[in-house]
Amino acid sequence: MRRLAIPFALIAILGLGACSQTGQRVGTGAAIGAGVGVVGTIVTGGCVVCGAAIGGAVGAAGGYIYDQHKKGHL
């Protein structure tokens, strides 16, 4: 399973290149949020999957808000 993580991550990163600017910002926010969520739950001893899911959702929302701000909609 661990050997599949890197190829899937590369595919996900390359897939962002075909997205719109909004999609890129939301995807990047989700990826960063999931990473921070995983690290935070490892450090605190919590549920790693839960931390990744919550962090990814918060990161995606943050990426969307940032995109709307940059476009002058907020």
pLDDT tens-digit map of 15-66: 666 678 898 899 899 999 999 999 999 999 999 999 999 999 999 999 999 9
pLDDT of residue 69: 96
Tell me the whole-structure pTM to 2 decimals: 0.75
Domain limits at 63?
Answer: 2-70
**How many Cβ atoms sit within 10 Å of the Cβ of residue 29?**
23
- Total domains in the chain come to 1
pLDDT band with cut points at 50, 70 and 90 for residue 1: very low
